[in-house]
Amino acid sequence: MDSVNIFVKNRTMTVSICVDIDHHSSDVLRKRIDDELLAKNPKELIIDFSGVSFMDSSGIGLIMGRYKLAKSIGTVISICGLNSRCKKLLKLSSVTKFIPIKEIDNGRKQ
């Protein structure tokens, strides 16, 4: 399975991450997401974490970095599908001050 699936519909780009996020994996994720983001220049970017069972603070860096890039090209970013573990981690950072956390609304179980 791919570590990340990206699709664009109606200028909304959804990035579904399906791999443990640590310093090792975040390098690859960063490149994949940034390449697509710059190529497609969507109006909205949603990063879906429902396929992520483990994440350390590298995930925070990954989110903040995408937030900065998205902002610089006028894309609005949000994140969704975070399990309770990821949310606990996010609370230790200031990420949630900048980026809204959405609950998944497409009928999939979290």
Q: How far apart are CA 80 and CA 101, in angstroms?
A: 6
Query: Could you say which residues in the range 21-50 bind other proteins, by CB under 8 A?
Result: 22-24, 26-27, 30
Measured distance CA(102)–CA(81) in Å, rounded: 8
Residue 98 touches other proteins, criterion: CB under 8 A: no
The yes or no reply on residue 89 touching other proteins (CB under 8 A) is: yes
Q: Which of 17, 58, 81, 82 binds other proteins (CB under 8 A)?
A: 58
Helix (H, G, I), strand (E, B) or coil at 84: helix
| Whole-angstrom distance, CA of residue 92 vs CA of residue 3 | 25
Q: How far is the CB of 93 from other proteins (least distance, A)?
A: 5
Size of the site for other proteins (CB under 8 A): 22
